Amino acid sequence: MQRRKFLIAGAVTAAGAVSTAALAQNGATQSLPDRFAATLSAHDIGAFADLFSEDYVNHQFSAAAPAPAAGKSPKQASVDFFAARLAGMSDLQVAVETAIVTGDRIAASFVYTGTHDGAYLGVAPTHRRLKFTSCDIFTVKDGRLREHWGMGDIAGILAQLR
């Protein structure tokens, strides 16, 4: 995780540091990573869903997070993905490892911890403690998450479930 912090910090330095004035202008944007983590940690899926705009677009698809089923919006598919995570780990806690806010974009690294006490990713409960990360980039529109690109450590999760 230290290496990821170093890489993200290096990217910010290369792109130019975000000034305090820029962060102040984007007050609503600045708090979104913390709100993302807090709503999931509180297991408040309704408040979590409210973080996303109705025209939300998710650019991240994988075997673990496939494209939405026919008739399901990208927003609802993402909310359902996280609801399944909460069902699989009833004590899930999410923390913001680091976040960068610039203009209408957010980059954040999240750390997830919880006990695998419910079915998750097709695996019956193992009662093991899990710890995994994701790195996510969002665009923000009207104070809500509008677009998403990211990488979750699904391979790391599956290795811990063995």
The H or E element spanning position 53 is strand 52-58
Q: Domain count of the chain? A: 1
Q: Is 61 exposed, middle or buried (0-12, 13-18, 19+ CB in 10 A)?
A: exposed
Query: How many residues are recorded in the chain?
Result: 162
Q: Residues 111-143: pLDDT tens digits?
A: 999 999 999 999 999 999 999 999 999 999 999
Residue 126 maps to a domain: yes
Residue 14 maps to a domain: no
- For residue 155, what are the domain limits? 21-161
CATH no. for residue 143? 3.10.450.50
Residue 83 maps to a domain: yes
Residue 69 maps to a domain: yes
Beta bridge mates, 113: 93, 131
Residue 70 maps to a domain: yes
The b-or-e profile of 11-49 (16+ CB within 10 A means b, else e) is eeeeeeeeeeeeeeebeebbebbebbbbbbbebebeebb
For helices 74-88 and 32-41, what crossing angle results, to 10°?
50
Residues of the chain with confidence (pLDDT) below 50 = 6-30
Residue 6's pLDDT is what?
47
Asked if 131 and 117 touch (Cβ cutoff 8 Å), the reply is no
Residue 9 maps to a domain: no
Residue 82 maps to a domain: yes
Tokens of 126: 């193992």
Residue 154's pLDDT is what?
87
Residue 6 maps to a domain: no
Residue 1's pLDDT is what?
53
